[in-house]
Structure 1
């Protein structure tokens, strides 16, 4: 029947406009390698996996790729994001046998019982202050990818993780962001081509706290997702209004990828967070109150399912840094980034589980469309049932000149009402489908690329 077809189409439209919430994961760094006698030993792996499950995290990032930790997540359906330390890069780049050796130790004994979903070759390699590992990065990534293929493993993508501050030229306006040179041309652009070919993701460490500390003009509320009057920044090129620093930094990365022609590669935030304490006495913003505000704002923003202003699909995954504080082994300047204290007690009242589906304003409008559409369909259904009953009683399809199959007064009234309602539905869907920001974004970057090409030609 036409009415059932209508209901089916409306239901499919509703599913189309509900958006998946990006998985929210957590980083756990093992401290077993420290030589300090004051640092307590790390909790046993089984306790770590149990704690992470209790916190309802479905994704975990393991920077050390500790085999005992990987084993502890077997049969848990927890998605694992492994990392290879920077010091391993020279060996991985020199010979594929080293890549195979690493896989035999960290992947083959556990996969697929442990759900290894992603491997990052190195972390913030461009930030290295000692030995320069950048010449080894791309060869190491290629060797590991080929080694996985040699072992018949084709479902674990390979990438590397960058730091925002050593990779992106500016955060505002996002439309002006580019990759820093010479790394942009020598490393990042070839990497993006590799990621495109292998269906992998671009990984970035995103810390609004650090950018807030560097720029005194950024209001604290803007960094903490607070909804204050005039708490926004406008990008005059794209016409986008930003209400928080996290979205602005994420769109700066997306814009930089767009400049080099890879705006559709998925973006994963490998690290983000806010410290609850700092080693520097001047870091008054590193406190538990602000840390909880940031985490609640971040989770609420991601659960909205809206995406970023320049990417309606939003981020692919986001990982909170980190699971627990470590005395003496904090990431920088003694800052404490953990969502748990050293004794594994909760520091914040934040619900990290995000559910399977969510929808914001778009989804709400689609609910209206579905309800109104069902009403329109019910008119036709009611007419059909009434017609059938009268025909059954009288044995005819036409009574006193009224065609009960839809040609007479009854059919005309219900048909016009349902058509009017469906016209309203089409109008709502048309409004939803209008993506002015995305259009402005594409036009903006076409113009920018044309300007840069003309500038290069004139310089030559």
Structure 2
């Protein structure tokens, strides 16, 4: 007898073949959290973060259509009012237990972070928590009740067009990345949390959010060629899924399709996928990270944006991901930490990424 995974994947392939040949281009945004710098001997008086209005102006000048705010700073939400920039808000993990226990507290959070600004600020989605399975696994049982309470609290306030979800890390939920057709959700979370969450997302027309870092996958698996992780196009730079016959030309699509396959096994293959974080560091935490360079980071980001803007989607989903957020807008530049920003700490460009069209900004 065929396994449930094989049957679900066969259905997924049939759906892919029946899908319209039309494609769509996902929304490409950035993550921004104000850098908070601690005083050091060399720099006892570090500069404060730039004013929120200046940040909004920079994002607009770069023609970035979407921004993800991990801390949901109200002053930043206000700064994006009356712009065309959509905003993905996140609720910190520490709030999850109280939101799960008390819908009134969920309303209180919305009164501070949503109600004063929406719809002038184009809030597109609220993520309750980020990578809880890894950072705060003891909060996992509270996750779905918290997501439900925020959803219900929005409806209590008459706001019905902002979906609610949560964000996961690829490495903490997926059993295997290759072949993608063999991927499933890790247990016991797959049955206890993922399946009921996916049902909620389907019922409320929400999306599945996941952090996808090909850089980390490349570092973990020495068999992955660097060019495969960087969207390079040259002969034999591909890997075939021998189960389905699907050919992959980049690691990003491999990881996205592994998520889609896991959702298919769980019975929810049609839920939109949003890549909440992706990027490539321009410097590593230590000297061992020889592939964390500005040149390779630029190659990854330009390859990613070109791939997403092509409208090709992924092999298992013609429309691909619905949105993708580059991590991150600005470097923090702390010793011993990776640098991910597309801008230096003074907000000058590290390299040009054409989200819409090329443009330049001045330092603050």
Provide the TM-score with structure 1 as the length reference.
0.71
Tell me the distance in 2 between the aligned counterparts of 1:24 and 1:345: 20
SS at match of 2:138: coil
Q: For residues 28 and 323 of structure 1, what CA distance do their matches in structure 2 show?
A: 5
The answer for unaligned runs of 5 or more in structure 2 is 1-19, 358-364
| Deviation of 1:19 (Å) | 2.7
Give a deviation string over 1:336-393, Cα, whole Å, max 9, x none.
Answer: 0000001101111221128xxxxxxxxxxxxxxxxxxxxxxxxxxxxxxxxxxxxxxx
Contact 1:167–1:179 under 8 Å retained in 2: yes
Q: Is the 8 A contact 1:24 1:353 kept in 2?
A: no
Structure 1 residue ranges (4+ consecutive) displaced by more than 2 angstroms after TM superposition? 16-20, 34-40
Pairing partner for 1:192 from 187, 198, 211: 198
Over aligned residue pairs, what C-alpha RMSD do you find?
1.4
* 1:245 paired residue number: 251
What is the CA distance between 1:256 and its match in structure 2?
Answer: 0.3
Q: Which of the residues 260, 270, 288 maps onto 1:264? A: 270
Q: How does 1:354-433 map to 2 (within 5 A)?
A: none
Equivalent residues of 2:67, 2:88 under 8 A apart: yes
* Contact 1:195 1:201 survives alignment (8 Å): yes
1:293 aligns with 2:324: no
Partner Cα separation in structure 1 for residue 183 and residue 356 of structure 2: 32
Deviation of 1:31 after TM superposition, in Å, equals 3.1
- Measured in 1, the distance between the counterparts of 2:288 and 2:139 equals 33
1:210 and 1:327 map into 2 onto residues whose CA distance is 19
Query: 1:90: Cα distance to partner?
Result: 1.1
Query: Structure 1 residue 20: deviation in Å?
Result: 2.2
Q: Deviations over 1:406-442 (max 9, x none)?
A: xxxxxxxxxxxxxxxxxxxxxxxxxxxxxxxxxxxxx
Alpha-carbon separation, structure 1, partners of 2:250 and 2:297: 15
Greater helix fraction, Structure 1 or Structure 2:
1
Matched, 1:156 2:162: yes
Unaligned segments of structure 1, at least 5 residues: 1-15, 355-460
Post-superposition CA distance 1:304-348 (Å, at most 9, x none): 1011000011110010000000133x8xx5000000001101111
**Aligned length, in residue pairs:** 334
Report the TM-score when normalising by structure 2: 0.89
Which residue pairs with 2:4 in the alignment? none
Query: Which of 208, 212, 220 is the equivalent residue of 2:226?
Result: 220
CA distance in 1, matches of 2:35, 2:297: 23
Give the CA deviation at 1:44. 0.6
